[in-house]
Every structure is written in structure tokens, then in C-alpha cells.
Amino acid sequence: MSDKHQGIIIKVSGPLVVAKGMSHAKMYEVVHVSEQNLVGEVIELNGDTASIQVYEETAGIGPGEPVYSTGETLSVELAPGLLEGIYDGVQRPLALIEKASGAFIGRGIQVPSIDRERKWDFEPKVSAGDTVFEGDILGEVQETTLILHRVMVPVGISGKITAVHSGSKTVEEVIAVVEDSHGKKHDIVMLQRWPIRIPRKSKGKRVPDTPLQTGTRILDTLFPLAKGGAGCIPGPFGAGKTVTQQSVAKFCDAQVIVYVGCGERGNEMTDVLMEFPHLKDPNTGEPLMKRTVLIANTSNMPVAAREASVYTGITIAEYYRDMGYDVALMADSTSRWAEAMREMSGRLEEMPGEEGYPAYLGSRTASFYERAGAVKCLGNGDREGSLTVIGAVSPPGGDLSEPVTQNTLRVTKVFWGLDANLARRRHFPAINWLTSYTLYQGNVSTYWSREVADDFTKVRNDAAGLLQEEAKLEEIVRLVGMDALSSKERLILETAKSIREDFLFQNAFDPVDASTSLKKQYWMLKCILTIYYAGQEVVEQEDFDFNALKQLPSFLKVARVKDIPNEKWDEFEAFEKKLRSEILSLKK
């Protein structure tokens, strides 16, 4: 390594290293610390001393050792080969780390993020003489059976194509040459780099209007998230954040998934790793891994890399968005990211804000979630892509008033609030239907009436209304008992109970129940609500025997309505008719 740009360490304290002789360094530049080549990033400059956050364990490093500059800011490599990859927080493939240091992660391992040897079949979409601008598609590579990788003109380059090279290429071989207006020739290769802390460019955002279908009933029907939106899942431990996130990652209809395990359990990441190659994508039947990129920084991996991992993930996600795909990013959990920020801030002796978090927590959180969006992609054609961000938040003690949750709620439009009490009674997904909210319902209602059913919005609102009503009535029951209720109120309770137990309850581990199509959700809910719609007409009769209603054969079968297979809409319709007529037969 050149010793031209070299500093000297003067202090080591956990992941923070301070070095002098660093006047040449720039902010967020990547440096290599000591002869062991630990990866670090400059986060503060003060005269000729630089504070460096080191992405690896610093034990055994001491003052007097060298720091080498690289001149580059922390970037990710973007090229075919990202999908099916599993990376650490600074985009080093974990498989290669294993090869280099065995089952335990060693230090100072330098491995390429993208396989340099592998050849891809590049099929050009342009020819010599064409004029291209940044973001234009030069050609395509079949990256996996699911995803066609579109190779784009790098940002900042435009001009006339003077040569195109098709065929089998590695990511570093020239695939096209572009001559810009100054006559300068640029060799274009598939491998591109992008600094992780800067959002990738697009032509502009548009308002998201298509729902992200997750297959989880409470999410899709009651609290829909739009493609290009941002949502958060806060909840205490054991309430099911990770199960919900994983379930969305498995079944949602985004084309590319980036899953960031940020400061979470090692065994959970292993679970994803072992399960995804075997699970089939419900839309295409191909293994899920073919559309997934995993970033893993488990809770015992270096804390500074945790801070970088969410940015690494979102930059990769934006790259696929720019190709025109619908991308979903799950970050589990953003609290660990915020805590990593707090730890570094404490070591830098910055003035702390609320609960010791740095004062810039709010702005960092906001700018992270703002990278979500439905966009018009750069380049020719009318490509549109979207990036949906779903962040889990782990509030200490389940207390939502803490800073990370509050800052997140300010910028996300969907709130899926997990509830420890529901989890304790094994009601999963333990999402509280009273406190959760979505601001996208208006956006997606047109889609709903177009693609699902005209009265979907009404059915959804009625169901939500009944659940609200139930909460009030339960208070009364708790005080004065069931007998004080009118028949109509008992009907509301019965219907709401059925909504809870037969619709909202969903077993993520049952192969059939784990995911439900939007249309089936509509029909299930419609059948359940028939109890209420038809019941209203009979219960207000004098001396109405409520047990007669509860003993109706169809009423007893409502719980099994989820067993009617997808696509058999006529069976649902028949069931609904039968239930209605049986209830109405109680009319005197």
C-alpha cells in the first residue's frame, strides 16, 4: 500500500479510532486501519486529526500504528450478481468471509463484493451511433431466472455510442464506449459504484397508488401500504416484528426484496438463509432467493458496520428501482441502527439529545425513509420503479414515546403497531387494529374497486368500524355483564369476534394460511360481515333467541371459510348466499 497518504493512530476506544496526520482526508472517506487493514470510515475532521469509525473489532490496535487512505467514500458495488447474495454491513459476501476465516468472522478480510470471474451474457439494446443519456438502458443480462438485470448508463455520462460489445462478459469487461460532447471516450463496464449515503437520482417522484400486496390479511385489508410508501412496525420483543417482516418478504408482490438484518439474532438470519432458497415465490414458482439480497449484521458483529448496513441495503434497493422494478426493503431493526449511531456519538463526545441519542437522529431517520418512493426512472422510455421501505422499531419496554419510534412515526405513513397483549394470547399477527393506521387507503381505493370489488372499501370500513364498536362494548360488558346488552349489540360483538378470530388471525407457519390473495381476503371478510348485514334484519325482533343464530349450520362454518381455495369465487358466493338465507329464515 502506498505510504503517501498515511496517518498515525493517537487513540483507540472501542470502534472509534482517532488519527493524526490526516489533513488530506475527506469526510466519509474509507480508510484502512493498521497493518491488519481494518475497514473504517472518516466521520469527523478536526485540524489534521480525523475520527474514524471502524467496521471491525479493534482489540489489539494501538497508538502509533498507521492509517491508510483510499481516497474513496464508502460505496457499494452494483452489477449483476447482487441477487442471491448475502453480505455483511459493508457489502462483503459472507460466503467469501467464511472461506477466508472459517466459521468465525476474522478481521481485515478484503474480498470483492461482486464476483469478478463470473461471465454474464450481455445482450445490447443500443447500437453504435445511438445517443444515450444517463440512466438509459444499454442492454440486459439475465441475472437470475426471475430478474432481468438492466445495465444502465452511469449517472453523469451521456453522449454518442461508438462501440458495443455483446456476448459473454465479466462485470469488469467493457460493454460499450460512449463519447461525450467534449470528445472524451468513456469505457462502460457493468460494474458501477455508488456512495451509500447519497440517494440515487431519478426523474422525480409520483404519488404511490398501487397497494403492496403482502398476503397478510390485516395488513392488506385494514392497513394497506402502497408500493413506494414507507411503513414502520414498532413493538416490544416477542410481539412478532421479525415474523411479520419475514412473512412480508416472502409473500409480497414486489419483484426484488432487500432484507437488512440490522443488529438482530444470528439464528434468525440463518433461518432466512436456509428457508429462502427452498421457498417458492408465489407469483412465479421460482425460489425466493432469486429475487432477494440479504444484508446481515447480527447483534454481535461490529457495531459501526450496523450503522452502514441500512445505507448499503437501500442503495442496492434503489439500483433495482432504477431498472424499473418494484423493490421492497425490510430493515430489522432500525432501533439497532439508531443505537449504533448513539454509541458512536457518545464516543465522539457529542452533545446528546433525548435519551442520549444524537441530536441529528431525527434528520437521519427522515432522510433514510425519504429514499422510499414511486419514481419515474432516469433515462429513456417511461420506466417507473418503486422502493417501499418497511422498518421495524424495537422500543425499549414497548414504550412508543421513545425517540426512535417518535422520529419514525413522523416520516412513515403506515403504522403497524404490535401489541404484547395480543401476542400473549397467541393472536398473530399481533397487530393492534385500534392503534394502527394507514394514510394510503385513499390512494389505493381506486385500485381496489378496479381490481378487487366495487364495495371493497365499504366492506373494509364496516369491518374497521365494528372492531371499534366492539372495543367500546367490551368495556360495558366488563362493568355490567353481557346481559345488559341489546341483541343488536350482541350481534356486533359476535361479528367482531369472527373478524378477529377467523379473518385477522393468521398462522404464518401454516403453508396455506400464511398468505391470502387480495380477492380472497375480500370474500372472506364479506362472508363474515354477512352475519352483521343479515343479522341486523332479524335480531331486533322481540324475544329474539340469540342462540338460534349461533347454532345455524352456516354460522358454525364461518370459521372454516378460510379453507375455501383461492379462485373458487363461486363457492364463496354460494356460501355467502346460504349464510344470508339461513339467517333471514329466523325472521318471524
Partner 1 sequence: MQKEYKSITSIAGPLVLIEGVEGIKYEELVEIQMPHESQPRMGKVLEASEGFALVQMFESPQGAVTHGAKARFLGETMKIGVSPDMLGRVFNGSGKPIDGRPEIIPEKRLDISGAAINPYSRDFPNDFIQTGISTIDCLNTLVRGQKLPIFSGAGLPHNRIAAQIARQAKVNDGSEFAVVFAAMGVTFEEAQFFQSEFEKTGAIEKAVLFINTADDPVVERIAIPRLALTTAEYLAYEKEMHVLVVLTDLTNYAEALREVSAARKEVPGRRGYPGYLYTDLATIYERAGRIKGKKGSVTQIPILTMPEDDITHPIPDLTGYITEGQIVMSRELHRKGIYPPADVLPSLSRLKDKGIGDGKTREDHAGVMNQLYASYARGKDVRELAIILGEAALDDVDRAYMKFANAFEDRYIRQDEHEDRDIIKSLSIGWELLKMLPQAELKRIKPEHIEKYMKADA
Q: Does 86 interact with partner 1 (rule: CB under 8 A)? A: yes
Q: Give the list of residues 6+ apart from residue 87 with CB closer than 8 angstroms, or none.
A: 93, 94, 113, 293, 294, 295, 296, 312
- Rounded Cα distance, 454 and 3, in Å: 70
Assign 90 to helix, strand or coil.
Answer: coil
Distance CA 420, CA 427 (A): 10
Binding piece for partner 1, criterion CB under 8 A, among 90-98, 204-212, 375-383, 403-411: 90-98
Near partner 1 by CB under 8 A: residue from 2, 3, 47, 64: 64
Peptide bond preceding 302: is omega within 30 degrees of 0, i.e. cis? Answer: no
Residue placing its CB nearer to partner 1 in the complex, 9 or 230: 9
- Binding of partner 1 by 61 (CB under 8 A): yes
DSSP state of 1: -
Site size toward partner 1 (CB under 8 A) is 73
Report DSSP state, residue 46.
E
The verdict on 183 binding partner 1 (CB under 8 A) reads no
Name the amino acid, one letter, at 552.
L
Interactions with partner 1, residue window 377-406 (CB under 8 A): 394, 396-399
**What is each CA distance from 294 to 54, 240, 457, 526, 534, in whole angstroms?**
22, 20, 36, 38, 49
CA angle 380, 384, 390 (to 5 degrees): 145
Q: Which one, 188 or 239, has the nearer CB to partner 1?
A: 239
Closer to partner 1 by CB, 281 or 339: give it. Answer: 339
Q: Looking at residues 291 to 330 of the shown chain, list those that interact with partner 1 (rule: CB under 8 A).
A: 296, 298-301, 303
Q: How far is the CB of 327 from partner 1 (least distance, A)?
A: 22
Task: Give the E-state strand segments of 272-383 in sequence order.
Answer: 292-298, 326-332, 373-376
Query: Residue 51, preceding bond cis, omega within 30 degrees?
Result: no
Q: Please report, as residue ranges, which positions from 516 to 545 form the binding site for partner 1 (by CB under 8 A).
A: none
Interface of this chain with partner 1, residues 221 to 280, rule: CB under 8 A: 236-238, 261, 263, 265-267, 269-271, 273-274
Residues 452-511 that bind partner 1 (CB under 8 A): 478-483, 501-502, 509
Min. distance of Cβ 240 from partner 1 in angstroms?
A: 10
C-alpha cell at 531: 352475519
Binder of partner 1 out of 21, 108, 282, 346 (CB under 8 A): 346
Least Cβ distance, residue 96 to partner 1 (angstroms): 9
Q: Which residues within the stretch 131-160 sit at the binding site for partner 1 (CB under 8 A)?
A: none
CA 41 from chain centre, in angstroms, equals 26
Cell of residue 257, nine digits: 426484496
Minimal distance, residue 585 CB to partner 1, in Å:
21
Enumerate the β-bridge partners of residue 375: 205, 385
Task: Determine which residue in the list 149, 250, 342, 371 makes contact with partner 1, applying CB under 8 A.
Answer: 342
Distance CA 209, CA 207 (A): 6
Q: Which range binds partner 1 by CB under 8 A, 9-17, 37-45, 381-389, 446-454? A: 9-17
Binding characters for partner 1, 408-437, by CB under 8 A (x = yes): ------------x--xxxxx----------
